[in-house]
A and B are shown apart, each in its own frame.
Chain A
Amino acid sequence: MNLLRSLARRALLPGLSVLSALILGGVGIIITDFDHLSQLGSDPLVAIGGAVSGVFNGYGAMIAGAFGDPSRIATALQTGNERDIATAIRPLTETLVAAMPLIFVGLAVAISFRAGMFNIGGDGQLILGALGATIVAIALQTSGLPSLVILVLAIAASVVAGALWGFIPGFLKARTGAHEVITTIMLNYVAAQIVLFALIGPFLRQAGSSQPISKSMTWVDVPPIVTLPAIRLDWGFVVALVMAGVVSWLLFKTTKGFELRAAGFSPTAARYAGMSAGGSMMLAMSLSGALAGMGGGFMVIGTVGQLSNDLSGGIGFNAIALALLAGLRPSGVVLAALLFGALTTGGKEMGIQTGIPFDLLFFIIALVIMFVAAPGLIRSIWRVRVKPAADVPSMAPSAPAGTV
């Protein structure tokens, strides 16, 4: 009971943040609904009614697009027709597919933020991880190794590449005090250029394509959870959930996690207690990069199947928002990633069904970030009295420079 109450208390502010963002998103839908609003002069009731019902239609399409139609799923399961089942459950599995990399990068952000390092470099770490996996997979194409071995080696390469890309800003911060926000953002650009460069050469590049995309890696795949046509959901999602458990264990049950959290809250107190703040910075950033890289690896080998330089599509930034929404808790990251996955998948469907632009999603996600970053605003709008979650580091500028 106590546990339930504390969960409810933790979920209240994030929940209200999302709700507020969706309501303002609705306002956005109304004021961009020129078809209806143009009738405002001639027939205001119809105009406003039409615009408002447009919001419900839009969000309705979004929900259906994200979760599918339950009655249709039930019917399909009864008939047992593979194709029907696949079509019925596809919205739901696509939501999980979209959530998978968000979980990885969300965990990456959470672990670094917990250690007081504001890793904005999820995009770069993800795409370099994907590059590492692609290089290994393509290099082993004709090796004759079993597909599963290639998969494991490719994922290992993604972890190493991501960890390295995370380690660099951690090292620079620990040794020189270079602020990780600046270095990680800049390294995103460097990573994007490295990937572009790698995709120009004949080794990775899809023969005959004018686009910078890699070969389709048909000889290696992440095994699917259910074998149905056009269902992309694979074991990468399960690994993401396992990683949430691992990160939670690491943060709260191990001494390394204790050091990371202590350094995140107070680098000076950590130093006084005999910990190495610089070591924590480098470790946190390496782990963070490793997780983001692993997400890139699973995307490129599993759900996407080939590397392109726009693979990430802003996952790194959305992951920051969802990690904050999650209160930097691994379990919360999973929930928030599912929500964001649903928004993305449903948002595409909303665009197709109702003509409301997909870009509305960015508007809603931006509002979520804003509300999560301003809990006082949510408290005063909704008149709720909840203490802010004090057991995570604040968004204030982090550790002083050069504390090794």
Chain B
Amino acid sequence: MRLELRDITKRFPGVLANDRISVSADKGEVLGMLGENGAGKTTLMNILSGLYRPDSGEIVIEGTPRTFDDPAAAIRAGVGMVHQHFMLVPVFDVVEAVALGSEPVTGALGTFNRAEARRRIVELSEQYKLNVPPDAKIESLPVGVRQRVEILKALYRKSDILVLDEPSAVLTPHETEELFSIIRSLAKAGTTVIFITHKLNEVLAVADKIVVLRRGRVAGTTTPQETSRQALANMMVGRDVELIVPKGPAKPGEVVLSITDLEVRDDRLEVAVKGIDLDVRAGEIVAIAGVQGNGQTELIEAIVGLRAVDAGTINIAGHDIGHPSPRMVSDLGVAHIPEDRGRDGLIPYMTVADNYILDSYHNAPYSRRGVFDLKAVSERARQGVEDFDIRTPSIETLAGALSGGNQQKVVVAREFSFPVKLVVAAQPTRGLDVGSIEYIHRRIVEQRDRGAAILIVSTELDEILAVGDRIAVMYDGQIVGILEGESATYENLGLLMGGAEFGVGTAA
């Protein structure tokens, strides 16, 4: 069905989230909606799915203006939503989870007609090649399949307009490919697909039409044929950005981090890191690629002293880390940018200044003999805010009130506020917009050029390829290959990440 959003405006206290946004998508068209965090994508989709009502403007489906009082009304009008966070009952099987809320019933008592539901689900699954096992429990399914269950749920409710909100955030590159082919076959069958993302490659790969939002407005409408990654990025940010931060060739010096035969167990006491050897030298960036959950988290935690080493050794700047503690490691000159900044990297309920000193509060000039020099703290914090261009009303603002990009800048500013020998960064740009990614990468490269050894873990191939001087791929707790930055491509990294044997020289 043809969907039109006309002059949609939505205002929240202090923010104009959507400012006269008009977009349209034809039957069978894939509309890619691109924008940074806070550009108004999610607000717009919440309006379309009946969660919010617009202040003005209208939703027109097949030429008829519609108002949605609640999500149920949107579903009745044929708008199906697949949220970033799945809404499935984990202990249900696929048939139950999909039918929940619109179960076919039989008899006077309205008994659930499982056979009927199952028949339709199998039929839809085959028609769109969703390949979903109807009797499997949701909790036993991998994330990619769960997402297909969500899509199935929307189709089961006869959605002609399917909205996917950041669908690839949780998927492996391979699963993303599968998703794209499903989207294409849905579109071919006449479904209108709206695909929301902040990833440039994805809109280029799958969309027929691209709408870029910036600060609540439509910044431009284009097609993959007419545009490029660079043009889209500029449109998103509103200025010229560097997708790949320029950096000179690495000048590797002495070995700063040396890992041999490392074994580490995860929280369930299973061996997660299975014998890793890796050296990182001063002045080089080693990027570890891999699908989430292949031991990267445990590797990083072991290096920074948060997780006990089961076997093997970690040597940082000539010191063997036997029974490590985070403080000991950080005192050796190690900066750590944690994977989950909201939980581990900073404390949202404390101020920017407090977060700026979170791991060095016990040192001069911040404190002496256990008593703070609050003037020194605020001076240094203010300096950090200025140096790292952190957008905050003041250093007394709670860190949780800042945008994701600015929160991460607080973490990076803190970690780089003292001279570092080794930078360990896990997913340093996850969930950040193009402008912030550029900024963080620039700062990391700057540290490298200053002579720090850098180890980055990322699941984003774009990031790996942009910053890695050497690229190691982790699969199932092991390093399955190390490539020089120039010789790495999406293809050979993708193969390694999927666990394929690969004969390229392990140049460690």
Chain A residues with a Cβ under 8 A of chain B: 253-256, 258, 261-262, 265-266, 268-275, 390-393
CB-CB under 8 A from A271, the residues of chain B are 306, 326
User: Contacts A265-B350, A273-B359; is A254 near B371 (CB within 8 Å)?
Assistant: yes
Of B348, B358, B370, B400, which is within 8 A of A273 by CB?
B358
In this assembly, does B418 line the interface, its C-beta being within 8 Å of a C-beta of chain A?
no
Tell me how many residues of B have a C-beta within 8 Å of chain A: 28
13 A–B contacts, CB within 8 A, in A order: A254-B367, A254-B371, A255-B371, A258-B361, A265-B347, A266-B343, A266-B347, A266-B348, A272-B345, A273-B359, A274-B327, A274-B330, A393-B349
Which residues 369-395 of B sit at the A interface, judged by CB distance below 8 A?
370-372, 374
* Residues B330 and A254 in contact, CB atoms below 8 Å apart: no
In this assembly, does B282 line the interface, its C-beta being within 8 Å of a C-beta of chain A?
no
Of B344, B372, B400, which is within 8 A of A268 by CB?
B344
The 7 A-B pairs of least Cβ separation, nearest first, read A274-B327, A273-B359, A274-B326, A273-B358, A272-B344, A266-B347, A265-B347
CB-CB under 8 A from A393, the residues of chain B are 349
CB-CB under 8 A from B326, the residues of chain A are 271-274
- Chain B 392-412 interface mask (CB, 8 Å, partner A; 1/0): 000000101000000000000
Complex CA–CA separation, A271 to B358 (angstroms): 10
* Residues B343 and A262 in contact, CB atoms below 8 Å apart: no
In this assembly, does B346 line the interface, its C-beta being within 8 Å of a C-beta of chain A?
yes
In this assembly, does B10 line the interface, its C-beta being within 8 Å of a C-beta of chain A?
no
Of B306, B348, B358, B371, which is within 8 A of A253 by CB?
B371
* Residues B330 and A391 in contact, CB atoms below 8 Å apart: no
Complex CA–CA separation, A266 to B344 (angstroms): 8
List the A residue with the shortest CB-CB distance to B414: A273
In this assembly, does B325 line the interface, its C-beta being within 8 Å of a C-beta of chain A?
yes
Of B345, B359, B398, which is within 8 A of A390 by CB?
B398
In this assembly, does B214 line the interface, its C-beta being within 8 Å of a C-beta of chain A?
no
Of B338, B349, B354, B370, which is within 8 A of A272 by CB?
B338
* Residues B343 and A268 in contact, CB atoms below 8 Å apart: yes
CB-CB under 8 A from A254, the residues of chain B are 367, 370-372
CB-CB under 8 A from B362, the residues of chain A are 255
CB-CB under 8 A from B370, the residues of chain A are 254-256
Which residues 37-85 of B sit at the A interface, judged by CB distance below 8 A?
none
CB-CB under 8 A from B338, the residues of chain A are 272
Of A258, A265, A391, which is within 8 A of B372 by CB?
A258
CB-CB under 8 A from B354, the residues of chain A are 258, 262
User: Would you call the interface of chain A mostly helix, strand, loop, or mixed?
Assistant: helix
* Residues A253 and B372 in contact, CB atoms below 8 Å apart: yes
With A273-B326, A274-B327 given, can you name 17 additional A-B contacts, CB distance below 8 Å? A253-B371, A254-B367, A254-B371, A254-B372, A255-B362, A256-B370, A262-B354, A265-B350, A266-B347, A266-B348, A271-B306, A272-B336, A272-B359, A273-B358, A274-B325, A274-B359, A390-B400
CB-CB under 8 A from B306, the residues of chain A are 271-272
CB-CB under 8 A from B346, the residues of chain A are 269
Most chain B beta carbons < 10 A, residue from A262, A269, A270? A269
Which residues 316-364 of B sit at the A interface, judged by CB distance below 8 A?
325-327, 330, 336, 338, 343-350, 354, 358-359, 361-362
Shortest CB distance B13–A (Å): 9
CB-CB under 8 A from A268, the residues of chain B are 343-344
Complex CA–CA separation, A261 to B367 (angstroms): 16
Complex CA–CA separation, A273 to B362 (angstroms): 11
Complex CA–CA separation, A276 to B367 (angstroms): 18
CB-CB under 8 A from A255, the residues of chain B are 361-362, 367, 370-372
Complex CA–CA separation, A390 to B362 (angstroms): 25
Complex CA–CA separation, A270 to B350 (angstroms): 12
CB-CB under 8 A from A273, the residues of chain B are 326, 358-359
Complex CA–CA separation, A77 to B367 (angstroms): 50
CB-CB under 8 A from A265, the residues of chain B are 347-350
Chain B residues with a Cβ under 8 A of chain A: 304, 306, 325-327, 330, 336, 338, 343-350, 354, 358-359, 361-362, 367, 370-372, 374, 398, 400
Complex CA–CA separation, A390 to B370 (angstroms): 26
CB-CB under 8 A from B348, the residues of chain A are 265-266
Complex CA–CA separation, A274 to B415 (angstroms): 13
Complex CA–CA separation, A243 to B345 (angstroms): 33
CB-CB under 8 A from B330, the residues of chain A are 274
Shortest CB distance B224–A (Å): 41
Complex CA–CA separation, A262 to B344 (angstroms): 11
User: Contacts A253-B371, A254-B372, A274-B330; is A269 near B349 (CB within 8 Å)?
Assistant: no
Complex CA–CA separation, A255 to B354 (angstroms): 11
Complex CA–CA separation, A375 to B199 (angstroms): 40
Shortest CB distance A358–B (Å): 39
Complex CA–CA separation, A388 to B345 (angstroms): 24
CB-CB under 8 A from A390, the residues of chain B are 349, 398, 400
Shortest CB distance A392–B (Å): 8
* Residues B344 and A269 in contact, CB atoms below 8 Å apart: yes
* Residues A391 and B398 in contact, CB atoms below 8 Å apart: yes
Shortest CB distance B16–A (Å): 20
User: Contacts A253-B374, A256-B370; is A391 near B361 (CB within 8 Å)?
Assistant: no
Complex CA–CA separation, A51 to B457 (angstroms): 72
Complex CA–CA separation, A269 to B339 (angstroms): 12
Shortest CB distance B99–A (Å): 34
Complex CA–CA separation, A261 to B354 (angstroms): 10
Most chain A beta carbons < 10 A, residue from B338, B345, B358? B358
Shortest CB distance B361–A (Å): 5
List the A residue with the shortest CB-CB distance to B362: A255
List the B residue with the shortest CB-CB distance to A266: B347
Shortest CB distance B226–A (Å): 46
Shortest CB distance A59–B (Å): 38
CB-CB under 8 A from B367, the residues of chain A are 254-255
Complex CA–CA separation, A165 to B350 (angstroms): 30
Shortest CB distance B150–A (Å): 29
List the B residue with the shortest CB-CB distance to A389: B349
Complex CA–CA separation, A401 to B330 (angstroms): 25
CB-CB under 8 A from A391, the residues of chain B are 349-350, 398
Complex CA–CA separation, A261 to B325 (angstroms): 20
Shortest CB distance A343–B (Å): 31
Complex CA–CA separation, A323 to B370 (angstroms): 26
Shortest CB distance B315–A (Å): 20
CB-CB under 8 A from A261, the residues of chain B are 350
Complex CA–CA separation, A226 to B374 (angstroms): 39
List the A residue with the shortest CB-CB distance to B400: A390
List the A residue with the shortest CB-CB distance to B328: A274
List the A residue with the shortest CB-CB distance to B373: A253
List the B residue with the shortest CB-CB distance to A272: B344
Shortest CB distance B68–A (Å): 26
Of B304, B345, B361, B372, which is within 8 A of A269 by CB?
B345
CB-CB under 8 A from B304, the residues of chain A are 272
Complex CA–CA separation, A268 to B340 (angstroms): 10
List the B residue with the shortest CB-CB distance to A258: B361
Complex CA–CA separation, A255 to B398 (angstroms): 19
CB-CB under 8 A from A253, the residues of chain B are 371-372, 374
CB-CB under 8 A from B358, the residues of chain A are 262, 269, 273
List the A residue with the shortest CB-CB distance to B305: A274
